[in-house]
Amino acid sequence: MPFLIILTMFLSTLCFADDSNGIIKGSVALNTQTYQLSAKLIYSLTVPDTSATMRFYLSADANLKLLRGKGVKNFYTDTASKPERSIVINFERPSVKTDIYFEYDLPFDSANFNKYGYIELGLDWFWFPVHAGYSGWKVNFDLNVSIDQEGIDLFSNGQVKRSATTSFVARSVYPEFDIDLFFLKNARVYPSGPVKVIGNEKNSPLKDSIAVTTAQYLSYYKNWLGQNAAKVTCVLRPVVDPNGFGYSRKGYFVLPEPRSLSSIKFYVAHELGHFWFLNGEQKENSWLTESMAEYAAMLLIKNLDGDSAFNLIIQDKVSRLARFTKDGKVIPAVYKNGSVNKTMWSQVALYHKGPLVLEELRKIIGDEKMMKLMKEVAETKIGTTEQFLDMLESVTDRRTREFMFDKLRS
């Protein structure tokens, strides 16, 4: 490898945060005539000390053309693995620093691009090799991204700069477990202070209002839970989805096109809440991510919009649980439930049962202790239920801890 290339890679590496597990570099090219993604990626990382094997998830539709790297003994594809097929790489020894080179093609869904004008590459679809321990395995990325059409902008959970008419450079701002690349035709930025909302040109006044509301919510969370995001990007898919499916990464979240400000406000509050509550990624502790973010959004609404708005959310969750249990069915426990397969029952437990359990706790310990507890959970990045219960006991007492534990596992 020429010295100049090595020096460039080395200097680029120095710019990244030290707490990442690896660095992903390379190129990603999208062809909207063939609906193919072509990727050439270099993963610079260290094989874990305890094993000479690493596993990466990659979409089953991917055509892996090349895989090589220092110390790679062999590799094979595990088609039975979940949530996606995986590439299992065996190394000659553990604890080796290596650059793994992946080259593959992958078809992407043309429907949304043809109908709505966007292409979304994110973790819900394994478009790049994702480490099997992705929930606790964070990477930096530095990618050259291109698309074969003009008039399309790229947005990301990292920093994006246009390098040519149809080319971009996308670089991470901080380590993350995902690389989100969002292509949008006729894109427009709607700014409000530290917030920018990305969307198309339709219904601009509504998107301006969403930007203002997001900035207001961000300020509230900062005052309550502490500084955790200096700037925020909200990307709106140009698709109206009554279920409000979205996701959040640090400083970045995606939601569907809303019909009105009132229809999206709570979803904005929830996704923003993940900037502070995105730690309980293990199956049994996932309520610390979803239930906590949901309840944080509820308390935000309570304090900004009043008790009436808050009580409507409570009533909606109570009625949802009643509908699901009317035939004698039992909602799973909040603790050790998880959402790996995202079944309807696990979602009901995490998004409705869990927040109602937290509301019961608030009624017992009071507003002041509840707000303090959630702030401490966010600041210390609590990741297990046991840690949460220890913290609860330090704020309250043993009896309250036991009450909460019983509620979480019932």
Radius of gyration for the alpha carbons in the chain, expressed in angstroms and rounded? 22
Is the pLDDT assigned to residue 6 strictly greater than 90?
A: no
Q: What is the mean pLDDT of residues 71-84?
A: 95
209: nearest Cα among 187, 234, 226: 234
Q: What is the structure's pLDDT at 280?
A: 64
Q: What is the structure's pLDDT at 123?
A: 87
Confidence of residue 228 (pLDDT cuts 50, 70, 90): confident
Distance CA 55, CA 130 (A): 8
Tokens standing for residue 303 = 């304090």
Percent of the chain whose pLDDT exceeds 90: 79
Tell me the CATH number for domain 17-182.
2.60.40.1730
Q: Contact 64/77 with Cβ under 8 angstroms?
A: yes
Query: Is the fold of 188-273 the same as that of 283-409?
Result: no
- Provide CB contacts within 8 A for 113, sequence distance 6+: 32, 35, 119, 183
Percent of the chain whose pLDDT exceeds 70: 93
Is the pLDDT assigned to residue 41 strictly greater than 60?
A: yes
Of 193-197, 331-335, 351-355, the range with the lowest mean pLDDT is 331-335
Going by the DSSP 8-state scheme, the letter that residue 258 receives in this structure is P
Q: What is the structure's pLDDT at 43?
A: 98
Q: Contact 58/128 with Cβ under 8 angstroms?
A: yes
Of the ranges 85-89, 123-127, 347-351, which is most confident?
85-89
Tell me the CATH number for domain 283-409.
1.10.390.10
Indicate the angle between helix axes 204-225 and 287-305, nearest 10 degrees: 110
For the beta carbon of residue 133, count every other beta carbon within 10 angstroms. Answer: 13
Q: What is the mean pLDDT of residues 9-15?
A: 39
Angle (CA) 228-232-237 rounded to 5° is: 135
Is the pLDDT assigned to residue 33 strictly greater than 90?
A: yes
Q: What is the structure's pLDDT at 4?
A: 37
Distance CA 347, CA 359 (A): 18
Q: What is the structure's pLDDT at 244?
A: 63
Confidence of residue 307 (pLDDT cuts 50, 70, 90): very high
188-273 is classed CATH 3.30.365.10:
no
Q: How far is CA 112 from CA 155, 183, 237, 239, in A?
A: 16, 11, 10, 9
Q: What is the mean pLDDT of residues 200-208?
A: 95
Average pLDDT, the chain: 91
Spell out the domain ranges in the chain: 17-182, 188-273, 283-409
Confidence of residue 374 (pLDDT cuts 50, 70, 90): very high
Distance CA 141, CA 344 (A): 34
Q: How many CA atoms lie within 13 A of 228 on its CB side?
A: 23
Distance CA 106, CA 377 (A): 40
Q: What is the mean pLDDT of residues 269-297?
A: 90
Phi, psi dihedrals of residue 336, rounded to the nearest 5°: 65, 30
Q: Contact 37/127 with Cβ under 8 angstroms?
A: yes
Q: What is the structure's pLDDT at 17?
A: 46
Is the pLDDT assigned to residue 18 strictly greater than 70?
A: no
What are 384-404's pLDDT values in tens digits? 999 999 999 999 999 999 999
